[in-house]
Structure 1
């Protein structure tokens, strides 16, 4: 099925417990902190029903005959990935900004578990059936699916069981209906999503085969006992005319508190089995890293476009020094594009029979995009100049007693009059200098795992055999040295 925006809004009115700024939220669809981003998600749903976007946003399933969301389609061909990229492009242009958590980027984590069905079968064949069921359920219901990973963790010098055990989500007890869990997770967009794939962050289980912390399950965001405690939002702090991105595209982050929440057995994807937990941690971003990295391409475009407009309006783009800085932003943008394009051009079959982006190219591209982001933002600030931090707000531009001075000093030529220049500077300020801009850098740095985990993904997925074989032959080494590497 394809949901409508109205159906999505109705699905959020389930009695969920949400708090923000010290208040209990009665309705996330109308609350000032959530309404703009809920409207964006509703708009994405509605796009799939419109003639202009329908072909880009949806496909007809050959088996069921029903129309489904293209972002949730299991990838079997390169065209499947190209179609996903076209839909993301349509969304980003429609919302006139960028949003990271809109559903398509986290459903891929379940595809990784789909690839590990043999491991799930070792625990209980029912869990393998559950993941297959839930992948189909996302398609059938067009639900807004997110992912809960990070725990509060507490004192990391101690084991979870040597401190308050609730610092990491854990099993409390089993019942005939399912498992009872307690603890907490951080998750972006949880307060206005329908369900989350919840899994552990522990990477090293040692020799333990079973652990009460090795849990993976689907949780309904309106479940009894689940509390959403949200960070203060950026929406409404200042005028939308002066901070357009903060007021339009703020994705609210949530501390999810599981206060003895029942997870039905049909929603349990793995349970106490550390091998399954280790598998999903090692392959979590096998698919989802693609849309996450693609989001960074749009951030690069926004920085490049804002900087280029600012240089062009005053004629600075004719100077070699300015062109060199713009070229660095272009290089950053195109390096992301190249890795994404190559990852699909050299896509690999997955263990579960899907087509996954080339893992080495995808992970190296992701790391380069995230690692260079702060430097590229600073470069864009240089090109935009000091006026993004000194320009007054819109109310000042419109005040009758000083309006003529604002028009005089902010109009550049016949192409750039004061109002367009004010809008550009306000947009660039929000993109590069605002509280939201700083939040975005930190979010991108850790939202997909911290940098050391990115580098480990590169190490684990890079095929060293070609370089080693080349050096072996050039240096005249014996075959024994290659045998040692293969045993590693």
Structure 2
């Protein structure tokens, strides 16, 4: 079933208990903090039905059923390329960057698909639940997101040595399923259907079993759940002054699990720390690509905002300006190179899926995230100080001030005050606003903290190939080979 936008809206009118800014939300689809992103997600669903975009957004699975490209299991390099085209089509259509809309988070389920044999070897009780959930998401076009981060509390202490609810855990088992308590931060949870909930990065020590080592599908319509959201950026100023904040704020939510029953068929692993550790190490093998693709689009916006700002004032021919623009272009193209090469050098996963080249995609993610602060600052330099001093759109329309602003913000026949104000407002929202700061932090930490991203590169780089090249070139003794493994 390919959902429509209206069917999606109906599916989240399920009576869930949502709060934002101390207010209980009655209808999440109409609340101003959530409506812009719900409209974007609805638009993605509707693009699957429109003639102009249907071929890009829809494919057929191995059963011959029509399914969303973003949710379909990747079996070939063409499947991976089709996913990239679909994401680009969405970002082109909506005119901004949206991340947690399904295609990024579904990859975690494919990692489970790859790990079936490993998980069965650890505990065979739950592995058979994985494939039905993958098929359900695919066939029913479910809006599926991800939950990783707990409040954590005092990290110098074990969770058992403080309030145990600081990390989500199993409090008891029943005939119907497990009962969990705790909390998770989940982007888009207030307006998604479900999430794959799994442990945060944890040091299990020598423990083989833990009530904190649990992974399950969380149905957001379940009883005993509460959704407490951070303040939204939508509504802080007009859409004319903050065009990104008001349209693309993916609201983050602290989801409270207050003794929530998880049916046995929704449990994917339970108690075994080896299963939890395995999942953490393979979680992003597919999700890293769409995440990095969003960084590529963000880089495009940095380049475009900087370029148009220097063009409007005639500075693009100065060598110093061109050098800074070139740095931005190299940042963008390096991300593009990692994306393109990770498909061209794709690998076959343990379950036979076509998997982005792991070393390349993780290296690209680390580069893109690590360099983003510097690139934003570089774009800020090129855009100049006027992005922080320009009056609001209302001042450009007020009869008492409009003429003055038209005089001082019109540069030439091509750049009149209205367009210049729009560009400066866009650049301000991209680089200087609360939304811009939030996006920066989101990109740095959304998939994992920097040290964990570094660990992913370390685990997936082919160290032995580089070592072998030097062993041969330096004519080292054969005894050296393999004597010190990485």
TM range (shorter): over 0.9
Determine the structure 1 residue equivalent to 2:140: 141
Residue 75 of structure 2 corresponds to residue 108 of structure 1: no
Give every structure 1 segment of 4 or more consecutive aligned residues whose post-TM-superposition deviation is greater than 6 Å.
Answer: none
Determine the structure 1 residue equivalent to 2:365: 366
Whole-angstrom CA distance in 2 between matches of 1:261 and 1:443: 28
* Count of paired positions: 486
C-alpha contact (below 8 Å) 1:289/1:366 kept by paired residues: yes
Shift of 1:355: 1.1
Determine the structure 2 residue equivalent to 1:405: 404
Whole-angstrom CA distance in 2 between matches of 1:372 and 1:471: 30
Q: Which moved more, 1:189-198 or 1:311-320?
A: 311-320
SS at match of 2:67: strand
Which aligned pairs between 1:338-417 and structure 2 lie closer than 5 A? 338-417=337-416
C-alpha contact (below 8 Å) 2:73/2:353 kept by paired residues: yes
Determine the structure 1 residue equivalent to 2:425: 426
SS at match of 1:298: helix
SS at match of 1:318: coil
Shift of 1:203: 3.7
Whole-angstrom CA distance in 1 between matches of 2:438 and 2:34: 17
Q: Which moved more, 1:114-123 or 1:249-258?
A: 114-123
- Tell me the alpha carbon deviations over residues 44-83 of structure 1, each in whole angstroms, 9 at most, x when there is no partner: 10010000000001112341x3211100011110000100
Whole-angstrom CA distance in 1 between matches of 2:339 and 2:125: 36
Shift of 1:432: 0.3
Whole-angstrom CA distance in 2 between matches of 1:365 and 1:421: 34
Determine the structure 2 residue equivalent to 1:268: 267
Residue 9 of structure 2 corresponds to residue 9 of structure 1: yes
Determine the structure 2 residue equivalent to 1:45: 45
Residue 70 of structure 2 corresponds to residue 60 of structure 1: no
> Residue 162 and residue 451 in structure 1: after superposition, are their counterparts in 2 closer, same or farther (change >3 A)?
same
Whole-angstrom CA distance in 1 between matches of 2:2 and 2:201: 36
Whole-angstrom CA distance in 2 between matches of 1:403 and 1:208: 69
Which aligned pairs between 1:271-282 and structure 2 lie closer than 5 A? 271-282=270-281
C-alpha contact (below 8 Å) 2:210/2:273 kept by paired residues: yes
Unpaired runs of 5+ in structure 1? none
Shift of 1:370: 0.4
Shift of 1:126: 4.5
- Tell me the alpha carbon deviations over residues 193-250 of structure 1, each in whole angstroms, 9 at most, x when there is no partner: 0000000013432221111111010001111011111000001011111001000000
C-alpha contact (below 8 Å) 2:122/2:274 kept by paired residues: no
Whole-angstrom CA distance in 1 between matches of 2:189 and 2:12: 11
Determine the structure 1 residue equivalent to 2:129: 130
Which aligned pairs between 1:305-320 and structure 2 lie closer than 5 A? 305-320=304-319
RMSD: 1.0
Whole-angstrom CA distance in 2 between matches of 1:62 and 1:350: 18
SS at match of 2:154: coil
Whole-angstrom CA distance in 2 between matches of 1:377 and 1:338: 20
Whole-angstrom CA distance in 1 between matches of 2:162 and 2:125: 33
Whole-angstrom CA distance in 2 between matches of 1:209 and 1:347: 34
Which aligned pairs between 1:124-273 and structure 2 lie closer than 5 A? 124-273=123-272
Shift of 1:467: 1.3
SS at match of 1:245: coil
Determine the structure 2 residue equivalent to 1:463: 462
TM-score, reference length from structure 2: 0.99
Shift of 1:473: 2.2
Shift of 1:352: 1.2
Whole-angstrom CA distance in 1 between matches of 2:28 and 2:358: 38
Unpaired runs of 5+ in structure 2? none
Determine the structure 1 residue equivalent to 2:336: 337
Whole-angstrom CA distance in 2 between matches of 1:481 and 1:205: 34
Shift of 1:127: 1.8
Whole-angstrom CA distance in 2 between matches of 1:344 and 1:358: 7
SS at match of 2:254: strand
Shift of 1:123: 4.4
Shift of 1:274: 1.2
C-alpha contact (below 8 Å) 1:360/1:462 kept by paired residues: yes
Shift of 1:484: 2.0
SS at match of 1:270: strand
Shift of 1:485: 2.9
- Tell me the alpha carbon deviations over residues 256-275 of structure 1, each in whole angstroms, 9 at most, x when there is no partner: 11000000011001111111
- Tell me the alpha carbon deviations over residues 358-401 of structure 1, each in whole angstroms, 9 at most, x when there is no partner: 10000110000000000000000111111100100011001111
Whole-angstrom CA distance in 1 between matches of 2:308 and 2:274: 52
Shift of 1:128: 1.9
Shift of 1:118: 1.1
- Tell me the alpha carbon deviations over residues 419-474 of structure 1, each in whole angstroms, 9 at most, x when there is no partner: 01110000000000000001111111110100000111110000111211122223
Whole-angstrom CA distance in 1 between matches of 2:435 and 2:5: 26
